[in-house]
């Protein structure tokens, strides 16, 4: 079930009809692994795989001209492999298709009581709906709006409703043991500032120390504001600081900071994510000159009352761009759960529900994926997720034929210019490819669109699954170069 208006429903029907004709022959034309030998790989790609000591069997690849399912190259197209962050392509494409590029999240706010002489005689309520862009600046704007309504003191509590998403019992350390890495922050219906803190270190040679700047201000948290300055090269400055993340109420640095590092910033996931929202809102409200008589706690909004105002997110297009350009795992998981919430707003969105929504969408738009797809958390930060190069190619073909084709393609990193591909060098004609990257310990992959020297546009999907996968990047780069040259006009 989709929640759409009449115009969106018409677009759904038209796009489905178009995709049906395209994908019927797309699926039929992708050859099996036996249909083409590994010697079909371009010579430059074979050389780079050999140099990296990666067997050719580790690579699965599909190259097709956009709008034409005839494969320029197809090897192991239907093998299910871990796609890493290429899984975000399914999440973002489904969202653009089902919600539309201009769709937004709303965060309702209630002033539950009269305001007299700057005092709110009641509670301030906030209800989360999964907005992945409630960063510090936008939380400040929300509280500023409250102050513009005349509130300087809250006599009651600040009450937070996080019930739109089902409780997530997983530990932030579950994936790789690095609970302090921001990419491991768990999704939350009211996700404030990614539950992270930014520490900025500014050397002061005259005082022989580095000043520690902290954003955001968190109530009840004491931070060491000075670190001894050290001579010598910068090196691994984070390790040299010897940060203590074990106590959320007190942040300490037992090491030193090299002056040669200049100014550096370090984003860190908070050690106690369950209480982060409360500490952020109280700390920021007080820093803005506000007074709070009560506490920050969880609870439902006032029954039957219309919100006093709503904070609206940036459009979905901007969120999709950040997810794909910079491979933002937390935002991807927020969007993933939002798809389930929008399909059934009557119950908290769960991971299982979101998995069904995305898999059903793939089945209706791309054809039944069978064992070629295992949907996990929507971000690719997973050991269990699976997709095939052939299914990724079908997704890209479907997307480029849809009404949001330009928005989707422009959300992918531009080779050699921005996002996760900004620093790629050694490929001629940088800027002629929009490619999403995927990378885990044993996985490396790319998928997207390549504009060739002849002006043809190609769909490219490649996955390398091997313990040495990170060494396969030159081979993937050689593959992109080959596609840019129209497969050497073969």
Distance CA 194, CA 173 (A): 15
**Percent of the chain scored above 70 by pLDDT?**
91
Q: What is the pLDDT of residues 52-104, one digit of tens each?
A: 999 999 999 999 999 997 899 999 999 999 999 999 999 999 999 999 999 99
For residue 425, give the 3-state DSSP assignment.
Answer: coil
Show the domains of the chain with their CATH numbers. 6-102+316-489 (3.40.710.10), 105-313 (3.50.80.20)
- Across residues 221-231, what is the average pLDDT? 96
Question: Residue 211, exposed/middle/buried by CB under 10 A (0-12, 13-18, 19+)?
Answer: middle
Residue-level pLDDT at 446: 98
Residue 421 has pLDDT above 50, yes or no: yes
- Across residues 471-482, what is the average pLDDT? 95
Report residue 57 CA to chain centroid gap: 30
Distance CA 216, CA 140 (A): 10
Residue 220 has pLDDT above 70, yes or no: yes
Which helix H or strand E contains 251, and what residues bound it? strand 250-253
Distance CA 233, CA 256 (A): 12
Instruction: Find where tokens 């201009």 sit.
Output: 102
pLDDT band at 490 (very low <50, low <70, confident <90, very high): low
Q: What is the pLDDT of residues 11-39, one digit of tens each?
A: 333 233 333 333 333 333 433 333 456 66
Residue 5 has pLDDT above 60, yes or no: no
Residue-level pLDDT at 177: 86
What angle is formed at CA 373 by the lines to CA 370 and CA 374, rounded to 5 degrees? 115
Cβ–Cβ under 8 Å, residues 188 and 165: yes
pTM: 0.90
Residue-level pLDDT at 176: 86
Residue-level pLDDT at 222: 95
Residue 424 has pLDDT above 90, yes or no: no
Q: What is the pLDDT of residues 311-341, one digit of tens each?
A: 999 999 999 999 999 999 999 999 999 999 9
Distance CA 77, CA 461 (A): 9
Q: What value does the mean pLDDT of the chain take?
A: 91
Residue-level pLDDT at 141: 98
Residue 114 has pLDDT above 80, yes or no: yes
- Across residues 415-431, what is the average pLDDT? 82
Residue-level pLDDT at 36: 52
Cβ–Cβ under 8 Å, residues 197 and 268: yes
Residue-level pLDDT at 11: 31
């Amino acid at each position: 079930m989709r929640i759409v208006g009449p115009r969106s429903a018409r677009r759904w029907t038209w796009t489905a009809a178009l995709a049906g004709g395209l994908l019927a022959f797309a699926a039929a034309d992708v050859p099996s692994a036996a249909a083409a030998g590994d010697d079909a790989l371009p010579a430059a790609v074979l050389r780079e795989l050999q140099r990296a000591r990666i067997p050719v069997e580790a690579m699965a690849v599909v190259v097709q001209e956009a709008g034409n399912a005839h494969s320029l190259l197809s090897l192991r197209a239907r093998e299910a492999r871990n796609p890493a962050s290429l899984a975000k392509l399914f999440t973002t494409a489904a969202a653009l298709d089902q919600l539309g590029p201009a769709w937004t999240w709303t965060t309702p706010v209630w002033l539950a009581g009269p305001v007299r002489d700057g005092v709110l005689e009641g509670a301030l309520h906030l209800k989360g709906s999964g907005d992945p862009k409630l960063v510090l600046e936008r939380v400040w704007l929300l509280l500023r709006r409250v102050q513009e309504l005349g509130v300087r003191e809250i006599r009651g509590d600040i009450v937070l409703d996080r019930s739109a998403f089902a409780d997530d019992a997983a530990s932030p350390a579950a994936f790789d043991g690095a609970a302090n890495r921001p990419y491991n922050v768990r999704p939350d219906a009211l996700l404030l500032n990614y539950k992270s803190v930014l520490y900025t270190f500014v050397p002061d040679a005259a005082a022989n120390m580095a000043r520690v700047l902290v954003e955001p201000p968190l109530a009840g948290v004491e931070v060491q504001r000075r670190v001894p300055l050290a001579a010598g090269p910068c090196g691994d400055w984070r390790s040299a600081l010897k940060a203590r993340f074990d106590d959320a109420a007190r942040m300490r640095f037992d090491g030193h900071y090299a002056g040669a590092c200049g100014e550096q910033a370090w984003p860190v996931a908070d050690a106690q994510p369950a209480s982060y929202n409360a500490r952020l809102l109280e700390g920021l409200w007080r820093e803005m000159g506000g007074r709070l008589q009560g506490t920050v706690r969880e609870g439902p909004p006032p029954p039957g009352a219309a919100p006093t105002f709503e904070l609206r997110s940036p459009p979905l297009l901007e969120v999709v761009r950040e997810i794909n350009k910079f491979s933002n795992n937390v935002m991807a998981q927020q969007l993933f759960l939002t798809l389930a919430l929008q399909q059934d707003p009557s119950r908290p969105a769960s991971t299982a529900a979101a998995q069904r929504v995305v898999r059903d969408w793939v089945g209706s738009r791309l054809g039944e994926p069978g064992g070629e797809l295992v949907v996990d958390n929507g971000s690719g930060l997973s050991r269990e997720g699976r997709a095939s190069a052939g299914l990724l190619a079908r997704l890209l073909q479907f997307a480029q034929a849809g009404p949001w084709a330009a928005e989707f393609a422009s959300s992918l990193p531009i080779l050699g210019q921005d996002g996760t591909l900004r620093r790629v060098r050694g490929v001629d004609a940088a800027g002629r490819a929009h490619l999403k990257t995927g990378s885990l310990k044993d996985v490396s992959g790319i998928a997207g669109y390549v504009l060739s020297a002849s002006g043809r546009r190609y769909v490219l999907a490649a996955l390398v699954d091997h313990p040495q996968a990170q060494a396969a990047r030159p081979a993937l780069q050689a593959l992109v170069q080959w596609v840019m040259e129209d497969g050497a006009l073969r």
